[in-house]
Chain A
């Protein structure tokens, strides 16, 4: 049982960190469909740097730098060029999927996987016990969730950030530099996605293969919506999605004949649709007008 919880946490950590990234972006009013791309770029750059330099700090650092630049590009296109936030996000994910696959061949001359000699440190490996297999970033995810909660609920900047998303015009009238807040939240998101990517490639498998993210970025995006943009809610949703992923893989092994794993894996998406519909209905009952994502973002 404890082992299964650990497996779930391991599967959930990349989604969890990426979901926090998506939460910041969406709170500032930007729907972040580029999470998948940032996960891929983070995972590739971290693995490639780890192989070339042999330093885990440099690996994570390089992933962060690349993702900050990509997030900057995303921000410029969305705020200054008024591009459609969803298409740009999907385009970023597509480009990153193509670019990492291309770079895999261009730099490493393989279309399969590249192995890293080093992995992320495991703080409890010396202690032993069931938690020994967890990477440092799983523990960091707990801490970062608390930090996110504190920033959003307890600081002035957090309040302003939320204002940028829920009512950008009012925020602008009150003197909040909306575009700068959006850039800041996208940059935080880039950093978190770099960590998520490093966790994805360097924590357990210690390798990067083409399209390693396999839709985890979109799961993170769904977790943001299911969690209602609240740090704790988003984290719970992300861990639930990660568990569904782990359970889907597990059920493939254990009882393939009874329940096809695909139906377990559908759960997160169905839950998101249900949650969105329920939120809208509740809002209507309260007499509020539900905001559409597109209006909130543009």
Chain B
């Protein structure tokens, strides 16, 4: 059945509106001043130049990660390990910067970013290889890799890279030299905006204009047909795992060299998971991903701003994010589901010995 594009766009908007109404209703029942909360949300996200800065600051990591994750989803791989990939990317890039403090920024920063991106990709290739070579479920393994990375970050911040002069409770690393930073504490700078624009443009070209983009879509739609057309699906799988991990690693490096200038235990919690929601809301289109990232970035900015102007606890808007997650896939997932079914059907055909031997080996190596 042909789906009307308007309807497809209306669904995520409807889900978000319904979640907003529900959560605001809960605030009203709990006796909070709804008018003040709504006004505070608008003020904190789009009401002033400072608010817009905050919104963009949070939209940047969401956008970078969601662009990568969207590629993996498009190929039918449910990589949900972005949070961990972001953490190892941040750790790797920070370690380079701290170890080579005296080096020229024009050499050190690109090296650090390369290391961060590579580590993110490697972290993602663990579930990727287990999935494409063995057939182990990437959903579970990538989730487990997240928890390992969280602990790794905790160890790095309390052990090897711990700040000597830190006095507070929260463990942090040493700050990077100011010359290495890509932005100040606000997290928005021309460099970062240009980087984001390049990434969106790259994603548009990759998905719409290149052979790889076509292969990703074909593999996602029907892996068996893709095999018959001569596409090596397991290689495409590895590529999307590496790309999504690289994007998350880049987001980690941006965090370390941009707004934070250092790292602390459990920084940017839930960004990896929010990026998954962004990618699902946007249905993987790069421009739509940009819009969705700005929306959720605005929400995040409002979450941080609200406790200042109202007595509403920050947890109140965290609830909103969770509620959106609860409903959002009601509309977004049939796409993924269809792909999974296609793959299940593909395997059924594989078992009956339908394809020629050479193809069968390739198909089963994909799991």
Contact = CB atoms under 8 A, between A and B. Distances in A.
Interface stretch (B106-114, B190-198, B343-351): B343-351
Contact of A87 (B126, B136, B154, B329): B329
Interface residues of A, number: 53
B147 A215 contact: yes
Given A262-B155, A270-B148, A293 B320 contact: no
Interface of B: 26, 30-32, 78, 80, 126, 130, 134-137, 139-141, 143-145, 147-148, 151-152, 154-155, 158-159, 270, 273, 276-277, 280, 313-330, 332-334, 336-337, 340-341, 343-344, 347, 351, 364, 367
Contacts of B273: 90, 94
Contact of B325 (A91, A210, A263, A289): A91
A111 B311 CA distance: 12
A143 interface: no
Chain B binding surface, main DSSP class? helix
Contacts of A269: 144-145, 147-148
B6 to A, nearest CB: 21
Contact of B330 (A81, A98, A210, A266): A81
Given A97-B318, A101-B318, A277-B136, 12 more contacts: A31-B139, A83-B330, A94-B318, A96-B322, A98-B317, A104-B313, A263-B151, A272-B144, A290-B367, A292-B135, A292-B137, A295-B343
Interface in A49-102: 77, 81-84, 86-88, 90-102
28 contacts: A77-B327, A83-B327, A84-B329, A87-B333, A90-B273, A91-B324, A91-B326, A94-B322, A94-B325, A97-B315, A99-B319, A101-B314, A102-B316, A102-B318, A105-B313, A106-B31, A222-B144, A262-B151, A262-B154, A269-B145, A272-B144, A276-B137, A277-B130, A277-B141, A289-B135, A293-B140, A294-B139, A294-B340
Across the A-B interface, give the 4 residue pairs with the lowest CB-CB distance, nearest first. Answer: A101-B315, A91-B325, A95-B322, A94-B322
A260 B334 CA distance: 44
Contacts of A83: 326-327, 329-330, 333
Contacts of B137: 276, 292-294
Contacts of B351: 289
Contact of B319 (A31, A102, A284, A289): A102
